Structure 1
Amino acid sequence: MSKIKVLAVDDEPYLLDLTKIFLENDPRIIVDLAGSGQEALSLVGTTFYDCLISDYQMPTMDGLELLKALRSSGWDVPFILFTGKGREDVAVNALNLGASFYLQKGGGVEAQFTELANMVRRSAEIYRSKRELEESENRFRNLLQQSSDFILIIDSEGFINYCSSSVKRILGCCEEEMLGKNVFDLIHPGDVEEMRARLDHVKRNERRGDPVEFRMLTASGECSPMEAVGSNMLNVPSVEGLVITVRPITERKKAENDLRESEETYRTLFEQSPFPIALCALDGTFVDVNEKYLQIAGTKKESIMGKGAMELGYVGPKDFHIISEAFLDGEGVIDQHPVDIGSPGGEVLKMLLSSRLIKYRGEPHIINVLNDVTDLIRAQEALELKNEELNEERNRLQMITDQSPGVVYQLFLKDDIPRFIFVSKGAELFVDVPTDKWLNDPSWMFDRMLPEERDRFLEAMRISERSGQTCRHEFLLRDFDGTVRWILNTSSMSQKRDGGTVWTGTLTDITERKRSEDAVKQVNRQLSLMSSITRHDCLNKIVATEGYIDLATKGIEDDATIDLLDKAQRSIEAIRSEMDLTHDLQELSDHDAQWVRIRDTIPEMVSQHPVRIPEALHQLEVFSNPMLPKVFINLVDNSLRHGVNATDLWIEYAEAPEGLTIAFNDNGVGIPPTDKERIFYRGYGKNTGLGLFLVREVLKLTNISIIENGSEGQGARFELKVPPGSYRFTDLQ
Structure 2
Amino acid sequence: MRISGHRMMLQGEQCTILVSCDISADVAGMKELRRERDVLKAILESNPDGIVITDPDGNVVECNLALLTLLGNVTKERFIGMNVFTQLKEIDAAKAKRVGAKLMSEGLVRNISFELTREDGIKVHADVSAVVVKDQLRKPLYMIGLVRDVTDQVRHEAELEEALEDRRQLVSIINQSPAVAFLWRAAPGWPVEYVSENVWQFGYDAGELTSDVVDFASIVHPDDLERIATEVQTYVKDGRSEFEQEYRLVSPDGKVHWVYDRTLVVRDRTGAVDSYQGVVVDITDRKDALERLSRTERQLKMFMDMSPVVKFMKDRNGRYVYVNKTHTDIFGMTAAEWIGKTDRELFPPEVAERLMATDRNVFESGKFHAFLEVIPREDGLREFLTYRFLVPSITGGEDLLAGVAIDLTEERRYERALKTANEKLNLLGSMTRHDITNQLAILAGWLDITRDDVKDPVIIKRFDDMKTAADTIQRLLMFTSEYQDLGMQEPVWVSVDQAFSNGVLGLQLEGVQVEVDLPGLEIYADPMFERVFRNLADNSIRHGEKLSRIKITQRSEGNELILTYEDDGVGVPEGIKGRIFEKGFGKHTGFGLFMVRQVLDLTGLSIQETGTQGSGVRFEIRVPEGGYRYSAGKG
Pairwise TM-score range, normalised by the shorter structure:
0.3 to 0.5
The normalised TM-score by structure 1 is 0.33
The normalised TM-score by structure 2 is 0.38
Return the index of the structure with the highest Cα Rg. 1
